[in-house]
Chains A and B, each alone.
Chain A
């Protein structure tokens, strides 16, 4: 069996085909880049997706061979930007009808974790999901991911992106802030807010922008943002790890590509005798492969949706859906 995954939650339109062993055969992605200093405009991102979609999907099919077509169509149903979600969903519905194959709704955050677990051979982890849409610490219990700790305001991805915009660093913000941080040496004072297992980043963002306006070195600010915001998350992860006594720590999502964050979470895991499973950097960002990977597991658990009842949900919590395929064997 072959599974097609369509990703279309935010800046990336992706299509990927994987087989029933979970092997990734093709993974083609195209990412909308807003002009420097600007954020993602939902309509413009949707227009981008509309333009590139047929090319991306054709390329994903092409890698499989001329005569092959997928046996199920998996699409990112949320959470994300409404206009972007609707493009992916519309294309997926059309494909499912045309090919006469089942349609599988996929939660984008769950998909990040599924792909990271498959790639990192993790079975039952304390999952740390860090991206533009999520900053959450979750463990699996009774068929669902349970949020053990999360951000109380903006996500780690938001923090880095919004600061990058203010500092006129080009998109993607996380990557450019990391690059700039390498030149930083001096730790500047920024608010450190951990409440139990939760973190809050909006005060830190405001303070960092203030430092920028005061004319402090951009490299030092980037360095300090990383040191403080990542240490906050690491502390929340450490508390959750001690409470749950999990033996694996998974790090997934776009911000998981950051080397300093990987290093910190690895230190926490190893200090408590847990193994560390970071998502491979090429699969950290949004991609079609995560949707295909999660869609395959959902399909095998009997989850499909008839086209007339198919939906998108821009606000869809990680703990709202059943994930009976976890823990993995």
Chain B
């Protein structure tokens, strides 16, 4: 089961890398701040004091794969996806906590209060003592994968649909939340 997950994850990653770049082969929006020949195309502005030229430095990750504000960007926003949690949860709560705090993964703490973390966000619901709600794991899995299924105006990022987290990572997060008592 786990080998299957890794294989599928790898396939998705390769497909992601290939499609992400081939998608823009001839039609990169002209107002994107990018270096088209770089692996990570996205650039970040760098202001140089006493200079009439604006410098650009590579950003830590490629952001061209998601819809942008450009009027030339004609890719549709991925719609809400309903998913089912199959088999036992099989999540690692320790890894789940790491993901919840990682800036580049879940980063749940930017909006939600989690135990043991100073300066939590107050935008999202409290996650302290999450276990007491007795939410079914299927529901929590769907909420993280794509919360728009429950509320079209939800501000929570669709972690699964947008490929921010893979299935096992969402399972780990669900296991972590279900362990908070």
* A, B from the same assembly: no
**Chain B contact residues, CB within 8 Å of chain A:** none
